[in-house]
Amino acid sequence: MAEPWLHIVGIGEDGMDGLLPATRAVVEAAEVIVGGDRHHRLSEAVTAERVAWPSPFDALIDLLLSFKGRRVVVLATGDPLWFSVGARIGRAIDPSEITYHPQVSAFQLASARMGWSLADVETLTVHGRPVEQMI
């Protein structure tokens, strides 16, 4: 089986310093890094081609597939499989082509700071959802 070409990395506010050494090495070895402005600022010392989230966002999968064959890293906030871009990518690209590198999620961080058990917290998101769902 071939090595995955796509790595989806959760990154926190502590940037590269907060990543496990193996994950940091993956980011540092990337040829292409896809993410938002914030993600690029958190990893700015890494020399790789930088690509912003596409607009419209629905173009993401085609954008990623255009880089197949290169070492590609998608930077996401926290845990890329919890209300984040990782699940969306994983539904469209064969999971054997992807390695996920989670970080503490925003929900975990908020619960820890508040002293709340995450098991007792209802988690919802409006990120990427229609505004009408907030009502």
Q: Is the pLDDT of residue 1 over 80?
A: no
User: Range with the lowest mean pLDDT among 70-74, 83-87, 96-100?
Assistant: 83-87
The pLDDT of residue 106: 80
Whether the model clears a pTM of 0.75, i.e. scores above it, the answer is yes
Q: What is the pLDDT of residues 100-120, one digit of tens each?
A: 999 988 888 888 999 999 889
Q: What is the CATH number of the domain that holds 30?
A: 3.40.1010.10
The range of the structural domain enclosing residue 13 comes to: 6-134
Range of lowest pLDDT (35-39, 122-126, 128-132) = 128-132
Q: Which residue has the higher pLDDT, 7 or 3?
A: 7
Residue 74 lies in a domain: yes
Q: Which long-range contacts (CB under 8 A, 24 or more apart) does 102-108 make?
A: 102/10, 102/78, 103/9, 103/10, 103/11, 103/12, 103/18, 103/19, 103/78, 103/79, 104/10, 104/12, 104/78, 104/79, 105/10, 105/78, 105/79, 106/77, 106/78, 107/78, 107/82, 107/83, 108/78, 108/79
Separation CA 15–CA 26 (nearest Å) = 14
Query: Per the omega criterion (within 30 degrees of 0), is the bond before 56 cis?
Result: yes
d(CA 30, CA 47): 8
Is 15 part of a structural domain of the chain?
yes
pLDDT, mean of residues 64-76: 97
Domains: count for the chain: 1
Domain-located, residue 128: yes
3-state secondary structure of 18: helix
Residue 1 lies in a domain: no
Asked whether residue 110 is domain-assigned, the answer is yes
Name the percent of the chain lying above pLDDT 70.
92
